[in-house]
Structure 1
């Protein structure tokens, strides 16, 4: 039997041998990795839309136009609050439109018919939304049912319940209280300053969500449930409770938005919430919250601002409904492509 031996000098050379150089990382991969941390493309898109609007629309940068854009962005951003929470949990909310209409009806027409104070009508609307939304979250989690189906049904139920409280059903628009109209108006001033009240509300909500998502145990648990529900359960995180509460909060947010939508339009109709279902989904998708990375509401804020600018530029340049849908679809596809590509690259390493 022979035994191979290595001299001390050879051992020293082997130990000192340099490791093979790491494979170079291309610029594209670096950019995609950075994009998952910072929404560069969306920020550039916002700047590009501002430039296009300023060069193609005469009054685009006027005070009136800026306040209108910020008000539209605020409505889209507030509509996306519940959607962001549910998408981070791994769900989706199709009941946004239904609860917006139900909330608007409760504090306008129903309150007027029964002579209820505004606060009472609002509390009843919020309580009903919490029950229906929480039930939807519980059913989805407990029986593993697709949230698209359950939330769509709950939104329809919410509108139906509100309509049953109106003799003969809703056949005409409900006038909004004057203070809601003033609150939702882009021309209303705050402390004498030309700042839309909705913008301040949106900023306050964004700050609260930033603190919750990034600085609290609740935020970390929410992210954990959305990332891997089974692992969260093994870690003793009550995923079912988070789904139930998350869906309840989303429904309540939509009811509150219904007040602002009623104020913005001066009245509420059965179709008043439909645009905000689409906007809530697009803001979350274009913002990038749904595609991994550090999911938070900040990305949704950028998506809502992008959407408001895009709407303004398209309408200001005479784009028809077909052209608008075409461009919206391209924006969504571009966002999906960028983040899906980034995810595939991360999975390779």
Structure 2
């Protein structure tokens, strides 16, 4: 059976049209992914469904609350890290400042017989000064943030150990534990306070990064610091402020971490350095941008759900690290192929 000339012409015309439609759909998906981490969200949903089907009680209300609380801890530890990455840096002092915050409101309140409020009032300016000094040092002398933040984190832990005579082993007040308890409520709502705090932080960060002049200047600094200076943006001031807030926000997240853990040790913040940084990278925030905190939130949820499912199926810590490492590599490959924010300015 032979094809007529007219049918052949229609077939040739239809093929390019189908190809154009496919390319159009792919381009639309890429544009959507550049605005919001759809793929990461879908992976998180798939992992949750897998857990619900294969693990007893995984989809229960208490289990979902626990996963959200764990996600909140990772995401809150990554607030400052997100801002630092957006300006092209990295903060390796997050783990130590988490410990500083936890120790300040647990152990030192008893050591110096001060209230929780007074401890927080001392914690905030202290961490702002330490973090801001790192930002100034890195920009002024072109020191790698990786090295400077590691040094400052060690310095901060040293200060705490001097206050505690070298022994960091605080216990959390019962009332503070309610901050992260699955049985706690907030203004009558069946959610623990940490989830409400997390939601408010997410909203504030979204508005700040995308809807304020300061947020736009921060993004411009990360995209092209020299061009930002020519635009009369005080780049050094931005570095100082960002690193100052990164230290302070990590210390405040340490309070929530202490409430969740119940006890405080020098190693309490270690896992959260890796997980918070992984959440930033997996979410799709690149060094110098583009990116935002919403991506970190999705990355934290995705990472937590996958890790919880892996633990439920009996995978050890080594297996989890391997799996998480593979996810980060894949994310870096995907986002490394995209256009940098500096190429768009």
Q: TM-score, normalised by structure 1?
A: 0.88
Cα distance per residue 1:150-200 (max 9 Å; x no partner): 001111111110110123x115x2011222111122221223332121111
Q: Does 1:90 align with 2:78?
A: no
How much does 1:292 deviate? 7.3
The aligned residue for residue 167 of structure 2 is 170
Which segment drifts farther, 177-186 or 33-42? 33-42
Partner SS, residue 337 of structure 2: helix
User: Aligned pair 1:133/2:131, yes or no?
Assistant: yes
> What secondary structure is seen at the aligned counterpart in 2 of 1:125?
helix
Could you say what secondary structure the match of 1:343 adopts? coil
- Name the CA shift for 1:170/1:112 in 2 (closer, same or farther; >3 Å): same
In structure 2, what is the Cα distance between the partners aligned to 1:38 and 1:111? 42
| Cα distance in 2 for residues equivalent to 1:292 and 1:101 | 28
Is residue 38 of structure 1 aligned with residue 30 of structure 2?
no
Q: What SS is found at the alignment partner of 1:289? A: coil
Specify the alignment match of 2:155 in structure 1. 157
Tell me by how many angstroms 1:127 deviates.
Answer: 1.7
CA shift in 2, pair 1:343/1:292, >3 Å = farther
Distance 2:209 2:242 in 1: 13
For structure 1, the 5+ residue unaligned runs are: 1-22
Whole-Å Cα distance in 2 between the matches of residues 85 and 342 of structure 1? 20
Q: State the secondary structure of the residue aligned to 2:105.
A: helix
| Cα displacement string for residues 235-269 of structure 1 (whole angstroms, at most 9, x for unaligned residues) | 11000000001000000001111111111111110
Of the structure 1 ranges 44-53 and 186-195, higher mean CA displacement relative to structure 2 is found in 186-195
Instruction: Give the paired residue count.
Output: 323
> Paired residue for 2:13?
none
Q: Does 1:283 align with 2:279?
A: yes
Tell me the C-alpha RMSD between the 2 structures: 2.1
Q: d(CA) in 1 for partners of 2:171 and 2:289?
A: 43
2-structure distance, mates of 1:201, 1:38: 22
Which of 294, 297, 303 in structure 2 is aligned with 1:301?
A: 297
Q: Do the aligned partners of 1:33 and 1:342 also contact (CA within 8 Å) in 2?
A: no
Query: CA–CA distance in 1 between the matches of 2:211 and 2:35?
Result: 18
| Residue 332 of structure 1, CA deviation | 0.6
- Where does residue 112 of structure 2 map in the other structure? 114
Q: 1:188 to 1:154 in 2, by over 3 A?
A: same
- Please give the alpha-carbon distance, in whole angstroms, between the structure 1 residues aligned to 2:290 and 2:147: 28
C-alpha contact 2:223 2:289 (8 A) present in aligned 1: no
The match for 1:263 is: 259
Residue in structure 2 matched with residue 232 of structure 1 by the alignment? 228
Partners of 1:275 and 1:238 in 2: how far apart?
Answer: 34
**Secondary structure in 1 aligned to 2:177?**
helix
The answer to whether the 8 Å contact 2:80/2:245 transfers is: yes
Cα deviation, 1:261-311, whole Å, max 9, x if unaligned, reads 111111110000101101110100010012677521111110011111012
Match of 2:56 among 55, 58, 62: 58
SS in structure 1 of the partner of residue 267 of structure 2: coil
Aligned equivalents of 1:110 and 1:158: distance in 2? Answer: 14
Q: 2: distance between equivalents of 1:117 and 1:196?
A: 23
From the superposition, tell whether residues 51 and 126 of structure 1 become closer, same or farther in structure 2 (CA, over 3 Å): same
Q: Helix, strand or coil: the match of 2:216?
A: helix
Larger radius of gyration: 1
Q: Deviations over 1:88-143 (max 9, x none)?
A: 11111000011111111111111101101111111212221111100000000111
Q: 1:139-150 maps to which residues of 2 (within 5 A)? A: 139-150=137-148
The answer to whether the 8 A contact 2:76-2:198 is kept is yes
Would the aligned equivalents of 1:37 and 1:293 in 2 still touch at CA under 8 Å? no
Q: Which moved more, 1:330-339 or 1:223-232?
A: 330-339
